Structure 1
Amino acid sequence: MGSALSLSTNSAASRRRRKDDDGDDDLLDSRDRNEDIAKFPYVEFTGQDSITCPTCQGTGCIPT
């Protein structure tokens, strides 16, 4: 009786561990995506790619 209970506990723990691992992958994917988005030049929310920002001049970076 004790061994059957132990087996079910072990498989539940491994399922949780796998879920946690999957969550880490999603987190890394979102970090990569944010870094990729940060590399794009300035684009208005309208989808136009004309330079309308006098501060960054289309680079997306504010000079200091």
Structure 2
Amino acid sequence: MPKMKTNSAAKKRFKLTGTGKIKRKHAFHSHILTKKTTKQKRNLVHDTLVNGSDERRVKALLGI
């Protein structure tokens, strides 16, 4: 049986932590930043974890 292919879009967007959780970046921080407040832009800089309900789906895309 052939190997499972990792989804190319997913491998660019998600990273695995040491404990096996999945890190992701925030959306809405790439363009149209002039109308967003400084506080809003600052809070979008930091990475966060994928929600537990989506974790199984993302792991399947990554082939974990």
User: Does the pair score TM above 0.5?
Assistant: no
Structure with a larger share of its residues in helix: 1
When the two structures are superposed, what TM-score results if normalisation uses the length of structure 1? 0.27
Q: Which has the higher strand share?
A: 2
TM-score (norm 2): 0.27
Using CA pairs under 8 Å that are at least 6 residues apart, name the structure with larger relative contact order, 1 or 2: 2
Q: Specify the structure having the higher radius of gyration (Cα).
A: 1
